[in-house]
Chains A and B, each alone.
Chain A
Amino acid sequence: ETGVTQTPRHLVMGMTNKKSLKCEQHLGHNAMYWYKQSAKKPLELMFVYSLEERVENNSVPSRFSPECPNSSHLFLHLHTLQPEDSALYLCASSRNQRTSGANVLTFGAGSRLTVL
């Protein structure tokens, strides 16, 4: 248990479904992240919420929509996904240390998404 909890661990959805991934951290961190992990590809940073500011990767399709209602919770809302969106979605958190600049990420176990 890392202190970052992701639910569900596994999700199968059709292309017309709407679902959400949830992430919760109990570490007192002030930054939260969504990463996409596909086989033999670099981890893809999707979204960052840091000190209440959202940093968005412009290449993320609009069918992925993040929500961060507070510093402990992060959601990824999924809508009309494509089969190529099947991947492991990892949530992470960190204590944003602007003075040292070396944020260490704590990851959840991931949500394995399969789009049919």
Chain B
Amino acid sequence: AQSVAQPEDQVNVAEGNPLTVKCTYSVSGNPYLFWYVQYPNRGLQFLLKYITGDNLVKGSYGFEAEFNKSQTSFHLKKPSALVSDSALYFCAVRDMNRDDKIIFGKGTRLHILP
């Protein structure tokens, strides 16, 4: 079965420092991978996706993610964190059998410390 794992419940980063939020996936075949962000009292918002091509994907708000097939990872990164980046981040993968079924991880809470 397809799945994603987010090993960290929470990540703390000082403002201005680079940040990484980890995600590993388990799928058969080539994965379609996503990152979403949830701010307080809001629904999830799409950040970026990987389908094929360049392993470094750029998304909204200065975020990027690196697809690593050998390590089955899709870590979210940003060179310089902002306090406003504090939120809950979800990694997701498309079900290989159904293109309308997106499977999410449990989320990682990111705290940016001023």
Q: Is the interface of A mostly helix, strand, loop or mixed?
A: loop
Q: Are A103 and B46 in contact (CB under 8 A)?
A: no
Tell me the chain A residues, 80-116 only, with Cβ under 8 Å from chain B: 90, 92, 94, 96-98, 100-110
Nearest chain A CB to B9 CB, angstrom units: 7
Query: How far is B25's CA from A42's CA once the two chains are assembled, in angstroms?
Result: 14
- Is B103 located at the chain interface by the 8 A CB criterion? yes
Q: Are B42 and A109 in contact (CB under 8 A)?
A: yes
Q: Are A96 and B44 in contact (CB under 8 A)?
A: no
How many residue pairs bridge A and B at CB < 8 Å?
Answer: 71
Q: Is the interface of B mostly helix, strand, loop or mixed?
A: loop
7 A-B pairs with least C-beta separation = A107-B43, A43-B104, A50-B100, A101-B99, A107-B44, A42-B106, A102-B51
Given contacts A98-B99, A103-B100, 9 further A-B contacts (CB under 8 A): A2-B43, A6-B43, A35-B104, A45-B101, A45-B104, A100-B51, A101-B32, A102-B34, A108-B43
What are 18 A-B pairs with beta-carbon distances under 8 A? Answer: A2-B43, A42-B103, A42-B106, A43-B44, A45-B101, A45-B102, A45-B104, A48-B100, A50-B100, A92-B43, A94-B100, A102-B51, A102-B94, A105-B44, A105-B102, A107-B43, A107-B45, A108-B43
